[in-house]
Each structure stands twice: as C-alpha cells, then as structure tokens.
Amino acid sequence: EAQVTQNPRYLITVTGKKLTVTCSQNMNHEYMSWYRQDPGLGLRQIYYSMNVEVTDKGDVPEGYKVSRKEKRNFPLILESPSPNQTSLYFCASSFGVSSPLHFGNGTRLTVT
C-alpha cells in the first residue's frame, strides 16, 4: 500500500532533550516536506527536499534540522526542543511540489 509513515504519533518530552521524528515513503517520490500546524496559524512549512541530499528552508526552520540521505526517508530533528515547538507535525511527499501530496498521519509533540 502506498503510504507515508510517520513515527511516533504522540511524543511528550522535556526542554533540551534531542528528538527525531521519522518519515518514510514507499512511492519513490522526489519531493518530501515537513509542516507544523498550530491553532489559528494553519500549516506552515519547516523544511523541504527536492531530492536526495537537497534540502531547503521553509517558512519556520529555526530550531529544526533535516536530512535526506535516502530517497525514502526524511527525518525531522529537534536538537534542543523548546516549549514553543509544541505542535502537530506532518510529513508529506509527492513527485514534485506541483503534484498531489501524500501526508503522514501526523505527530503530536508536547515539549514541557
């Protein structure tokens, strides 16, 4: 089944403890991206990748890192999480930014 798999679904952590949210797709998509969704602000793009070893900042990249070592995986890394990074996170993939998007199920992160 074609899908984007995000893990974990829920994560509660403390300020400063490094964490990684994984994202994997099995559709051979070139384009992958990360978003955060906050009440009243909607979805905002954190980082995106057009292909392996190519990543670019979105609108809100501060405090996040990504890597794209393989086509299928695009992990989101929070080196030193802070409470303002408490949010709902989505990964998405597609053949290109102008192609239909496939979203993961989301990761609800709480940083205390």
Residues lying near another protein in the complex (CB under 8 A): 33, 35, 40-45, 48, 56, 58-59, 88, 90, 92, 97-103, 105-106, 108
d(CA 51, CA 71): 7
Shortest Å, Cβ 75 to another protein: 19
Q: 15 vs 23, which CB is nearer to another protein?
A: 23
Shortest Å, Cβ 80 to another protein: 25
d(CA 34, CA 49): 9
Task: Kindly report the number of other CB atoms within 10 A of residue 83's CB atom.
Answer: 10
d(CA 48, CA 20): 16
Q: 14 vs 97, which CB is nearer to another protein?
A: 97
